[in-house]
C-alpha cells in the first residue's frame, strides 16, 4: 500500500497551527516574506527631502521611496511634484503653498529649468523667506540629481531664482 504523504503534511500543519504562538509567528513570517518580495521585485529609488521646522526653523530631513522614471526629466518631474505635496509631518513647513503645481520642467545638458504655477508665489505660513526656501529646493535637487549642476526656478514664466548667484537676474523693471 502506498503512503499518502500529502495527508501527513496536512495533518502536521494542522497540529502545528493549533498553538496561538505558532499561528502568530507564521503570520509574521508571511508578512515578512510579502514585504521582502515587494522590495526586491519593484524597483524603488531613495530620495531625500528637507523642510524647515515650524518650531525652530531648523532643517528636518525626510526620506521617500518611489519608482524611478525612465528619463532624467521624468525622475525630476516626479521629485518636484512630491516636493510640492509638502512634508509628511505637520510640524514641518512646506516650501511652497499647497495650491502650487508644476507647469513645465526641462533639462538641457546639466541645467534644469523648472516653471511653477502662479500659486507658488503666494506666501506660506512661517518666517522662512522665499530666497532661503528656493535655495533649499535647489540644493535638494542637486543632492538627489548629481548630473544637474544649475537650476533656474520660474514662477508663472518669470525667473525668480538661479543657482549661479553671481549672475544677476534681469527683471522687467531693470530695462
Residues 80 and 104 in one domain: yes
How crowded is the C-beta side of 72, counted as CA atoms within 13 Å? 15
Residues 18 and 96 in one domain: no
Cell of 20: 496561538
Residues 55 and 123 in one domain: yes
Instruction: Give residue-wise pLDDT tens across range 144-159.
Output: 999 999 999 999 999 9
Q: What is the mean pLDDT of residues 39-67?
A: 88
Residue 21: domain span: 5-41
Number of helices and strands (H, E) in the chain? 4, 7
Give yes or no for residue 168 having a pLDDT over 60: no
Residues 20 and 81 in one domain: no
Query: Number of structural domains, the chain?
Result: 2
Task: Please tell me the distance from the alpha carbon of residue 102 to that of residue 117, in angstroms, as a whole number.
Answer: 6
Q: What is the mean pLDDT of residues 60-79?
A: 90
Please name which of 69, 71, 103 lies closest in space to residue 84, comparing C-alpha atoms: 103
**Sheet harboring 92-93: ordered strands across?**
59-66, 45-53, 92-93
Residue 119 vs residue 4, higher pLDDT: 119
Residues 33 and 58 in one domain: no
List CB contacts of 149: < 8 A, sequence separation 6 or more.
110, 111, 142, 163
Residues 16 and 53 in one domain: no
Residues 137 and 151 in one domain: yes
Scan for cell 523642510, then name that residue.
Answer: 51
Residues 34 and 115 in one domain: no
Amino acid at each position: 500500500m502506498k503512503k499518502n504523504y500529502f495527508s501527513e503534511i496536512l495533518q502536521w500543519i494542522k497540529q502545528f497551527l493549533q498553538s496561538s504562538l505558532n499561528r502568530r509567528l507564521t503570520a509574521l513570517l508571511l508578512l515578512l516574506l510579502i514585504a521582502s518580495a515587494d522590495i526586491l521585485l519593484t524597483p524603488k529609488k531613495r530620495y531625500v527631502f528637507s523642510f524647515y521646522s515650524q518650531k525652530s526653523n531648523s532643517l528636518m530631513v525626510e526620506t521617500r521611496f518611489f519608482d524611478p522614471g525612465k528619463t532624467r526629466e521624468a525622475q525630476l518631474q516626479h521629485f518636484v511634484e512630491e516636493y510640492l505635496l509638502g512634508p509628511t509631518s505637520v510640524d514641518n513647513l512646506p516650501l511652497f503653498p499647497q495650491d502650487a503645481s508644476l507647469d513645465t520642467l526641462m533639462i538641457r545638458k546639466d541645467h534644469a529649468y523648472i516653471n511653477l504655477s502662479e500659486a507658488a508665489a503666494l506666501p506660506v505660513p512661517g518666517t522662512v523667506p522665499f530666497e532661503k526656501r528656493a535655495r533649499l529646493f535647489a540644493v535638494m535637487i542637486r543632492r538627489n540629481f548629481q548630473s544637474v549642476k544649475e537650476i533656474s526656478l520660474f514662477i508663472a514664466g518669470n525667473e525668480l531664482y538661479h543657482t549661479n548667484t553671481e549672475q544677476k537676474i534681469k527683471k522687467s523693471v531693470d530695462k
